Amino acid sequence: MIEVLVVDDDVRVARINAAYAAKVPGFRVAAMAHSAAEALGVIGELPIDLILLDHYLPDRNGLAVVRELRGLGHHADVIMVTAARDVATVQAAMRHGALQYLVKPFAYAGLRTKLEAYAALRRTFEGGGEAEQTEVDRLFGGLWATGGSDLPKGHSPTTAELVRQALRAADGPLSAQEVAESAGMSRQTAQRYLKLLERTGRVRLSLRYGDTGRPEHRYTWTTGA
């Protein structure tokens, strides 16, 4: 199980976020904290793997918490979960090692996709070994999520989620036409989103050869299975 610490100054929001995280298979909420001091105290006492960290805390901001954690030698991973959306804060979070950034408000699906991608990344790292450039590229893009505001311009999170659901519900690889029919969209739209998801490592492409000799592209969802 991945042990999670939820940090938010709003007790109600912390409970909601904790409930969301607990619903994702493989994650367990070890504790909640409502200030920087509480968070640091919990991390000093419990084995925490992942922190869902708000930026606006009453005693210090979230980035200050990350700085202190690293200074103390704690290596828990951090996903910022906050209403702070100014570019300076987002950039600072990246520089301090936050793995992802989820802007409030969000639905359960938004956090779920972040956590599923994080779990997949942990599994890859635990496998060890060496990585070719394509694998390195996939790892660095591994926390890209379909449900958030980090989609490329011109792409709809709702459409991406429909493609994701179609692939996850399937018993095996699907063609672009089959995805289109399942998700209720045109084949061209399904193909565009499948190519995007394949480039970011969320979808695996395979080829099936038929009687014509021309291979059919088949797609499988690769994370959160």
> Over the stretch 55-90, which tens digit does the pLDDT of each residue have?
999 999 999 999 999 888 888 999 999 888 887 888
Q: In 3D, which of 207, 201, 208, 162 has the Cα closest to residue 185? A: 162
What is the b/e burial string over 24-34, where b = at least 16 CB atoms within 10 angstroms of the residue's CB? beebebbbbbb
The average confidence (pLDDT) of the chain is 83
pLDDT tens for 98-124 read 888 888 888 888 888 888 888 877 877
Alpha-carbon 128 to chain mean position: 21
The predicted pLDDT at position 101 comes to 84
pLDDT grade, residue 225 (50/70/90)?
Answer: very low
Residue 137: which pLDDT band, with cuts at 50, 70 and 90?
A: low
* DSSP secondary structure code for residue 147 in this structure: T
CB 200 within 8 A of CB 192: no
